[in-house]
């Protein structure tokens, strides 16, 4: 007899006490229904990852685990950010699960897409990306910045699934591969397309956060976008090279201009011109050093190979 697959739903949580109970209620219903319909194994679980929350989040997770074995959780020793928390969850879940679905704690991503994701997995896909078909419920600012970001990344030559965030199904096989990516500056949605394997897309409508505030401050969003670009693209450094080539062409034109002026005997070449040139060159050099420095900083971080997360507790092996 074919054994049903064990599914783990991994949910990073940072100060999510306001949404946790409702999220658990809705997800429990969904997972129990899938178990009853024999679509997934009864060993399946909902795994919360507490990302160093300062509120009651971890106490709630512990309590939920006591009440119902379907709920489990791990606790990070401090706030390491969404991507690292997610990685911690995925790596822990893959030890027990055949398939893992990651999603946010606020259920902005429609949980009814889970059925279709599992269907696509059963059809042979190793990764199923959840893609937002509409962002009507997002604020105008969020929509513009988020969609602009995907387009800009594409322009920078980074392979991303448009409007896909971190709502996705992955098989254990894919997660075993993910483990080999040892980068510190983590941008998961850029890594999965690199891993490859057969994959598909499931569309869903993105809802409003039903309680609490977004945990992505403007600063976190900018850092995330910058990480995405500098971890995957060499275009910024190539831009410096292009500027250099362009400047060389301009210099040749200027040289020709100077020779003509000289031949005509109208010399006393412009002092203004020299001063301007010095300033422009200095500015561009500064820019170039800045960008190169950014990459050097990345190399520096990578070579240190610091652990990206430290799990202080795991409710499944006390």
What are 99's strand-pairing partners? 7, 171
- The size of the interface with Mg ion (CB under 5 A), counted in residues, is 3
Under the criterion CB under 5 A, does residue 15 sit at the interface with Mg ion?
no
Q: With 0-12 CB in 10 A as exposed, 13-18 as middle and 19+ as buried, what is 62? A: middle
Within residues 136-195, the interface with ligand UDP by CB under 6 A covers none
Which one of 104-112, 113-121, 258-266, 287-295 is the stretch in contact with Mg ion (CB under 5 A)? 104-112
Q: At what angle do helices 235-263 and 271-304 cross, to 10 degrees?
A: 160
Please choose, out of 36-44, 66-74, 103-111, 155-163, the segment that lies near ligand UDP by the rule CB under 6 A.
Answer: 103-111
* 12, interface contact from ligand UDP, Mg ion, none, CB < 5-8 Å by kind: ligand UDP
Q: Which of 17, 104, 126, 177 binds ligand UDP (CB under 6 A)?
A: 104
Neighbours of 52 (CB within 10 A): 19
Tokens of residue 114, six digits: 């889970």
Instruction: Indicate whether 166 belongs to the interface with Mg ion (CB under 5 A).
Output: no
Among 16, 106, 109, 126, binds Mg ion (CB under 5 A): 106
Nearer to ligand UDP among residue 89 and residue 126 (C-beta)? 89
Size of the site for ligand UDP (CB under 6 A): 16
Comparison of 18 and 98: residue with beta carbon closer to ligand UDP? 18
Question: Residue 109 or 126: which CB sits closer to ligand UDP?
Answer: 109
Taking CB under 6 A as the criterion, the residue among 105, 158, 169, 186 binding ligand UDP is 105
Asked if 73 is part of the footprint of ligand UDP (rule: CB under 6 A), the reply reads no
Kindly identify the residues of this chain, within the stretch 8-27, that bind ligand UDP according to CB under 6 A.
12-14, 16
Q: How far is the CB of 45 from Mg ion (least distance, A)?
A: 22
CA distance 156 to 297: 20
Report the 3 state secondary structure along the chain: CCCCECEEEEEEECCCHHHHHHHHHHHHHHHHHHHHCCCECCCCEEEEEECCCCCCHHHHHHHHHHHCCCEEEEEECCCCCHHHHHHHHHHHHCCCCCEEEECCCCCCECCCHHHHHHHHHHCCCCEEEEEEEECCCCCHHHHHHHHHHHHHHHHCCCCCCCCEEEEEEEEHHHHHHHCCCCCCCCCHHHHHHHHCCCEEEEEEEECCCCCCCCCCCHHHHHHHHHHHHHHHCCHHHHHHHHHHHHHHHHHHHHHHHHHHHHHCCCCCCCHHHHHHHHHHHHHHHHHHHHHHHHHHHHHHHHHHCCCCCCEEEECCCC
Q: Which stretch binds ligand UDP (CB under 6 A): 80-88, 232-240, 268-276, 304-312?
A: 80-88
In this chain, which stretch among 60-68, 99-107, 237-245, 303-311 interacts with ligand UDP, using CB under 6 A? 99-107
* Window 208 to 237, contacts with ligand UDP (CB under 6 A): 214-216
Pick 102 or 171: Cβ nearer Mg ion: 102
Footprint on residues 42-71 left by ligand UDP (CB under 6 A) = 51
Where does this chain bind Mg ion (CB under 5 A)? Answer: 104, 106, 108
**Contacting residues toward ligand UDP, per CB under 6 A:** 12-14, 16, 51, 79, 81-82, 85, 104-106, 108, 214-216
């Amino acid at each position: 007899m074919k054994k049903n697959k064990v599914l783990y739903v991994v949910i990073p949580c940072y100060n999510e006490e306001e949404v946790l109970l409702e999220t658990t209620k809705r997800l429990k219903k969904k997972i129990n229904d899938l178990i009853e319909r024999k679509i997934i194994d009864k060993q399946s679980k909902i795994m919360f990852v507490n990302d160093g929350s300062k509120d009651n989040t971890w106490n709630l997770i512990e309590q939920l685990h006591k009440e119902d074995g379907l709920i489990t959780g791990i606790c990070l020793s401090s706030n390491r950010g969404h991507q690292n928390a997610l990685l911690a969850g995925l790596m822990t879940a893959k030890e027990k699960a055949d398939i893992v679905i990651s999603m946010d704690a606020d259920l902005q991503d429609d949980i009814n897409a889970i059925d279709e994701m599992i269907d696509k997995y059963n059809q042979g896909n190793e990764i199923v990306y959840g893609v937002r078909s509409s962002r009507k419920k997002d604020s105008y600012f969020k929509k513009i910045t988020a969609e602009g970001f995907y387009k800009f990344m594409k322009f920078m030559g980074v392979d991303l699934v448009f409007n896909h965030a971190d709502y996705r199904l992955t098989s254990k096989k894919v997660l075993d591969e993910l483990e080999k990516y040892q980068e510190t500056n983590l941008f998961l949605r850029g890594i999965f397309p690199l891993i490859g394997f057969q994959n598909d897309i499931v569309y869903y409508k993105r809802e409003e956060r039903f309680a609490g505030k977004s945990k992505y401050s403007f600063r976190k969003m900018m850092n995330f976008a910058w990480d995405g670009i500098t971890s995957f693209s060499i275009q910024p450094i190539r831009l410096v090279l292009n500027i250099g080539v362009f400047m060389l062409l301009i210099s040749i034109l200027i040289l020709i201009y100077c020779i003509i002026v000289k031949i005509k005997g109208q010399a006393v070449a412009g002092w203004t011109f020299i001063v301007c040139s010095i300033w422009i060159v200095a500015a561009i050099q500064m820019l170039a050093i800045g960008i190169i420095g950014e990459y050097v900083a990345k190399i520096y971080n990578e070579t240190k190979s610091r652990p990206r997360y430290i799990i202080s507790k795991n409710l499944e092996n006390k």
